[in-house]
């Protein structure tokens, strides 16, 4: 498989996800990776598990209303609906076009962490929902930004916290615990980065992981890596 015109030849495109608790820096890192990959001339798109489409954002807004009393199963189904729309409209299309798809969270990991481990829904239910909405699409590479929720949550604007961000510290700790469990289970796919580092160091570590992954997949980018890193300012 070779890189031709920034597309992946010989198979579907690549799905690269960034996971982590709220306040771990996922959005910032993804924007930096997106810009770096674009500068290499690669065909890359940036999306978000529950906010990648207009309909997804509408569903997400309902789910995250601050004062709503949403049942945990209702919550799980709303999240699944928002995620499914993004998969159907953005991710499947991007992969079919041979694009590199960067996604902030993805049902394959996040759904387990939030809804099975943190909310306590049955594994059977969660697995069924994921199989239904994902159609078997799994990430090719996942970067896990690991941070203590007690610290990470302080990075958020306390006046603008949505319903999930306002959950108990114990809830967020359980989300982190499951992410780390999954990283141990899938070490070849999930790569952990200390999210407490300065963002430039986080990016440098993430870029090394992504660069090496793309080279393994046949992308010829080794000669330009140094210039990208030296000139990148976010």
- pLDDT confidence of residue 65: 82
- pLDDT confidence of residue 119: 97
- Residue 46 DSSP SS3: strand
The number of angstroms, rounded, from the C-alpha of 96 to the middle of its chain's C-alpha atoms is 19
Closest-CA residue to 176 (of 22, 18, 3): 22
**pLDDT band per the 50, 70, 90 thresholds, residue 5:** very low
Beta bridge partners of 142: 17, 190
What pLDDT, in 10s, does the model give residues 96-122? 999 999 999 999 999 999 999 999 999
CATH number at residue 13: 3.40.50.300
- Domains held by the chain: number: 1
Query: What's the average model confidence in pLDDT over 3-8?
Result: 51
Beta bridge partners of 101: 15, 45
Is the CB of residue 56 less than 8 Å from the CB of residue 151? no
- pLDDT confidence of residue 82: 97
Domain of 206, in residue numbers: 3-231
What pLDDT, in 10s, does the model give residues 145-156? 999 999 999 998
What pLDDT, in 10s, does the model give residues 155-192? 988 778 889 999 999 999 999 999 999 999 999 999 99
**pLDDT band per the 50, 70, 90 thresholds, residue 68:** confident
């Amino acid at each position: 498989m070779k890189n031709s015109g920034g597309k992946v030849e010989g198979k579907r495109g690549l799905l690269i996800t960034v996971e982590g608790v709220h306040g771990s820096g996922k959005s910032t890192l993804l924007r930096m990776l997106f810009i770096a990959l674009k500068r290499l001339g690669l065909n890359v798109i940036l999306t978000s598990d529950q906010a990648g489409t207009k309909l997804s954002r509408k569903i997400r807004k309902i789910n995250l209303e601050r004062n709503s009393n949403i049942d945990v199963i209702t919550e799980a189904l709303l999240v699944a609906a928002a995620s499914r729309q993004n998969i159907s409209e953005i991710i499947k299309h991007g992969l079919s076009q041979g694009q590199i798809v960067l996604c902030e969270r993805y049902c394959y990991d996040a759904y387990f962490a939030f809804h099975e481990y943190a909310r306590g829904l049955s594994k059977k239910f969660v697995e069924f929902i994921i199989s239904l909405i994902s159609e078997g699409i799994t990430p090719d590479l996942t970067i896990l930004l690991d941070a203590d929720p007690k610290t990470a949550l302080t990075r958020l604007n306390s006046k603008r916290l949505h319903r999930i961000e306002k959950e108990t510290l114990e809830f967020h700790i359980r989300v982190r615990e499951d992410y780390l469990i999954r990283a141990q289970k899938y070490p070849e796919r999930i790569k952990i980065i200390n999210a407490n580092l300065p963002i430039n160091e986080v990016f440098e570590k993430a870029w090394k992981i992504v660069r090496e992954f793309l080279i393994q997949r046949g992308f010829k980018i080794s000669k330009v890596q140094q210039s990208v890193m030296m000139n990148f300012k976010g």
